[in-house]
Structure 1
Amino acid sequence: MANTPLSAPISVADYRARVAALIPPTPVTLRPLLDCAGLVLAGDLVSPVSLPPFDNSAMDGYAVRAADVAGAERHAAVTLPVPVDIPAGRTDIVPLLPGTAHRIMTGAPVPPGADAVVKVEDTDGGEQRVAVHAPVAPGTHIRLAGEDVTEGDTVLRAGIVLGSPQVGLAAAIGLAELPVHRPVRVLVLSTGSELVAPGNPLLHGQIYESNSVMLAAAVREAGGEATVLRFVPDDVGAFHATIAEHLDRVDLLVTSGGVSAGAYEVVKDALTGQGVEFTRVAVQPGGPQGSGVFKGLPVVTLPGNPVSSALSFELFLRPALLAAMGHGVVGRPRARVRSAAELRSPSARRQYRRGHVEGDLVTPVGGPGSHLLASFAAANCLIEVPENIEVVAEGDLVDVLLLGGAT
Structure 2
Amino acid sequence: MHRTQARHVTVEAHREAVRQLLAPLRTADRIQRLPLLAALGRGLAADILAPLDLPPFANSQMDGFALRSADVPDAGAELRVVAPVPAGTAPAALAPGAAAPIMTGAMMPPGADAVVPIELAVPDSFPAPNQPATVRLPAAPAGTFVRGTGSDIRRGELALAAGTCLGPGQLGLLAALGFTEVPAYRALKVLLVTTGDEVVEPGTPLGAGKIYDSNATLLESSMRQAGLDVTRTGIATDRPDELAAVLRRHSPDVDLIVTTGGVSEGAYEVVRQAMEGHDVQFLAVAMQPGGPQGIGTFDGVPVLGFPGNPVSCLVSFEMFLRPVLGALFGSPAPRPAVRARLAEALTSPQGKHQIRRGTLQPDGTVRLEGGAGSHLVSALARSNALVHVPEGIAALAGGAEVEVWML
Tell me the TM-score normalised to structure 2 length: 0.78
State the shift of 1:355 in Å.
Answer: 4.8
Contact kept, 8 Å, 1:340 with 1:395, in 2: the verdict is: yes
Q: Deviations over 1:226-264 (max 9, x none)?
A: 333332333445434444454244321111123334455
Equivalent residue number for residue 19 of structure 1: 18
Larger CA deviation: 265-274 vs 47-56 = 265-274
Q: Does 1:168 align with 2:172?
A: yes
Equivalent residue number for residue 86 of structure 1: 85
* C-alpha distance in structure 2 between counterparts of 1:365 and 1:351, whole Å: 14
Larger CA deviation: 48-57 vs 6-15 = 6-15
Q: Does 1:60 align with 2:63?
A: yes
State the shift of 1:293 in Å.
Answer: 0.6
Unpaired runs of at least 5, structure 1: none
Larger CA deviation: 220-229 vs 325-334 = 325-334
Equivalent residue number for residue 133 of structure 1: 136
Equivalent residue number for residue 381 of structure 1: 386
Equivalent residue number for residue 107 of structure 2: 109
- What is the letter of the counterpart of residue 49 of structure 2? V
Counterparts in 2 of 1:63 and 1:400: CA distance versus 1, 3 Å: closer
Counterparts in 2 of 1:245 and 1:31: CA distance versus 1, 3 Å: farther
Contact kept, 8 Å, 2:262 with 2:270, in 1: the verdict is: yes
State the shift of 1:298 in Å.
Answer: 0.1
Matches within 5 A, 1:315-326: 315-326=319-330
* C-alpha distance in structure 1 between counterparts of 2:60 and 2:216, whole Å: 54
Larger CA deviation: 348-357 vs 99-108 = 348-357
- What is the letter of the counterpart of residue 50 of structure 1? D
Q: Does 1:252 align with 2:269?
A: no
SS in structure 2 at match of 1:175: coil
- What is the letter of the counterpart of residue 300 of structure 1? L
Contact kept, 8 Å, 1:357 with 1:381, in 2: the verdict is: no
Q: Deviations over 1:38-83 (max 9, x none)?
A: 544444332111122122222234445556777997xx96554x4x
Counterparts in 2 of 1:159 and 1:274: CA distance versus 1, 3 Å: closer
Alignment equivalent of 2:234, drawn from 224, 230, 237: 230
* C-alpha distance in structure 1 between counterparts of 2:60 and 2:293, whole Å: 63
Unpaired runs of at least 5, structure 2: none
Equivalent residue number for residue 30 of structure 1: 33
Identity %: 41
Q: Does 1:217 align with 2:221?
A: yes
* C-alpha distance in structure 2 between counterparts of 1:114 and 1:336, whole Å: 51
SS in structure 1 at match of 2:209: coil
* C-alpha distance in structure 2 between counterparts of 1:117 and 1:339, whole Å: 52
Q: Deviations over 1:129-183 (max 9, x none)?
A: 2441324545544333223332222333444444433332222222223334444
Counterparts in 2 of 1:324 and 1:224: CA distance versus 1, 3 Å: farther
Contact kept, 8 Å, 2:244 with 2:275, in 1: the verdict is: no
SS in structure 1 at match of 2:221: helix
- What is the letter of the counterpart of residue 387 of structure 2? L
State the shift of 1:101 in Å.
Answer: 5.2
Alignment equivalent of 1:147, drawn from 148, 151, 155: 151
Alignment equivalent of 1:404, drawn from 391, 399, 406: 406
Contact kept, 8 Å, 1:292 with 1:300, in 2: the verdict is: yes
- What is the letter of the counterpart of residue 23 of structure 1? L
Counterparts in 2 of 1:182 and 1:8: CA distance versus 1, 3 Å: same
Alignment equivalent of 1:185, drawn from 186, 189, 195: 189
Contact kept, 8 Å, 2:190 with 2:255, in 1: the verdict is: yes
Counterparts in 2 of 1:19 and 1:118: CA distance versus 1, 3 Å: closer
RMSD: 3.9
- What is the letter of the counterpart of residue 54 of structure 1? F
* C-alpha distance in structure 1 between counterparts of 2:3 and 2:148, whole Å: 73
- What is the letter of the counterpart of residue 295 of structure 1? D
Larger CA deviation: 49-58 vs 394-403 = 394-403
State the shift of 1:128 in Å.
Answer: 1.9
Equivalent residue number for residue 211 of structure 2: 207
SS in structure 2 at match of 1:170: helix
* C-alpha distance in structure 1 between counterparts of 2:298 and 2:130, whole Å: 79
Contact kept, 8 Å, 2:45 with 2:329, in 1: the verdict is: no
Q: Deviations over 1:83-112 (max 9, x none)?
A: x44322235x44445666544322222333
* C-alpha distance in structure 2 between counterparts of 1:397 and 1:119, whole Å: 50
Alignment equivalent of 1:239, drawn from 232, 243, 249: 243
* C-alpha distance in structure 2 between counterparts of 1:403 and 1:96, whole Å: 55
Q: Deviations over 1:303-337 (max 9, x none)?
A: 21112212222333233323322589978847596
Larger CA deviation: 347-356 vs 305-314 = 347-356
Counterparts in 2 of 1:371 and 1:146: CA distance versus 1, 3 Å: closer
* C-alpha distance in structure 2 between counterparts of 1:95 and 1:35, whole Å: 43
Larger CA deviation: 281-290 vs 52-61 = 281-290
Contact kept, 8 Å, 1:340 with 1:361, in 2: the verdict is: no
